[in-house]
A and B are shown apart, each in its own frame.
Chain A
Amino acid sequence: MGKVIVVTSGKGGVGKTTSSAALGAALAHKGDRVVIVDFDVGLRNLDLVMGAERRVVYDLVNVIQGEAKLSQALIRDKRLETLFLLPASQTRDKDALTPSGVETVITELKRVFDWVICDSPAGIERGATLAMRHADIAVVVTNPEVSSVRDSDRIIGLLDAKTVKAEQGERVEKHLLLTRYDSNRAERGDMLKVDDVLEILSIPLIGIIPESMDVLRASNIGAPVTLADARSAPAMAYFDAARRLAGEVLPITIPGEKRGIFGKIFGRKAA
């Protein structure tokens, strides 16, 4: 039985889709079978970031409404044969997603794949709540600025209330992924510090992704950053985050800081 990961944030533009693609590719790179499901019906982007926009025939809404079989809608990545994409529909809206339809699709995907990554739309409405509904693990993508942190806090509250796990009295495992971290701005004090974000959100940190042109470049050529340039700083941070998701314990690096800081950050545990 595979694990369901929701990549969510509340706020838009913080890097959910980029992170979904990069984490998915990093997990698939180890040989795990991975599917990334785009829940952003009406504003799909994941197919572009994955470079599969010309190969979309059927989508999530077609499967939910019984117009296509799941196997017809899944798109296999051309670079990694264990990586799949289930695209969203661009012509429909979020109302086309039904709770029972989503449940059926997720249950079926869990049987076949090791990881089912749900790329959540922004907001806290239907699309976002359905994306998180069946999650075992949540990756909360946050930028080091106040509005993103507050929205993430709101999402964490919803993860503890509106998921199947929460309703059964269990807890969704929650991880913080800090993205678009700019070491220069952090030095100048223009951004929230890592410690401040951790103190406010009080969930464990799974990685810090530096702000980098490599991310934009990868999106533009239609490849997850972990496949476009595996040696770039953001790609390496995503690879480490993926290993932590899979249960490994690794020290966390704050981009732009010297190695001496490792000891301080390592072993940090948020309540």
Chain B
Amino acid sequence: MTKVLTDARSIRIKGRSFLAVVLSPDLPFDDWLARLDDLAARSAGFFLGRPVVLDVTDLPIDRAQLKELLGEFSQRNVSIMGIEGARPSILGQGMPPALKGGRPVSDDAVAKEPVIELQNSSADSKPAAIESRQPLQSIIIREPVRSGQSVIFPEGDVTVIGSVASGAEIIAGGSVHIYGTLRGRAMAGSIGNASARIFCRKMEAELLAIDGVYKMAEDMAPSLRGKPVQLWLEGDTIMAETLI
């Protein structure tokens, strides 16, 4: 590796690592795709322009089923850049290449992914280096979020100055702060950020989620109702305590 080639005309081959989102479907695919559609509907553009790797390790499927699944993805504009864990026998012509040696990354790194994506979509199309750290972004909403409205901000924190109505939802890549009553849904760390939290001045939520871990209204301790509350994740459990 350290040998330096002196001929300027030689072809240089370099290695570079990129961060990709990995999808691991389970059987039956119809149910899984329905859940995927649900996720995509709730966070529009989540898969847009994002490199996605399909993990089919241990899935008892044949070539036709895999082909059909790839077709379903392309219908949804999800571009699969590679397939992981596939037996060579089920890979065929025109399919994305097999990938090996993927390493899981910290949730933190995935959370920063959209920042990079933002850079790419900006005017200068220089490929963004993973190392360049952008300040975490946040948005502030200065009015009540009404029933039927969704605020989706995978890039960072969402702050609402006002209430979130029953039937409204906030989906943030980072933390969710509600300076009012939270009656609707709040999802923090929506693209994989276990350190995200949810804060609200008055807890009446229908549903809460942090990093994909859900909690329904009826699972919540009655003592939290109507109180100022913060929620965070410990392992796979959502923890909650009243503020002050």
Interfacial residues, chain A to chain B (CB-CB below 8 A): 124, 146, 150-151, 153-154, 156-158, 160, 199-200, 202, 271
Contact = CB atoms under 8 A, between A and B. Distances in A.
20 contacts: A150-B165, A150-B167, A151-B147, A153-B147, A153-B148, A153-B165, A153-B166, A153-B167, A154-B146, A157-B147, A157-B148, A157-B149, A160-B143, A160-B146, A199-B163, A199-B181, A200-B165, A200-B181, A202-B162, A271-B162
B96 interface: no
Nearest to A152: B147
Contact of A150 (B143, B147, B149): B147
Chain A at the B interface: mostly helix, strand, loop or mixed? helix
Tell me whether chain B's interface is mostly helix, strand or loop, or mixed.
Answer: loop
Interface of B: 143-144, 146-149, 162-163, 165-168, 181, 183
A174 to B, nearest CB: 11
Given A154-B167, A271-B162, A202 B148 contact: no
B110 to A, nearest CB: 32
A68 to B, nearest CB: 37
Contacts of B168: 157
Nearest to B145: A157
Contacts of A271: 162
Nearest to A202: B144
A202 B166 contact: no
Nearest to A161: B149
A202 B146 CA distance: 10
A149 B181 CA distance: 15
Contacts of A158: 148
A199 B165 CA distance: 11
Contact of B163 (A124, A154, A200): A200
A159 to B, nearest CB: 9
A271 B166 CA distance: 18
A199 B167 CA distance: 16
B220 to A, nearest CB: 19
B186 to A, nearest CB: 17
Given A153-B165, A153-B166, 7 more contacts: A124-B148, A150-B166, A153-B167, A154-B147, A157-B147, A157-B168, A158-B148
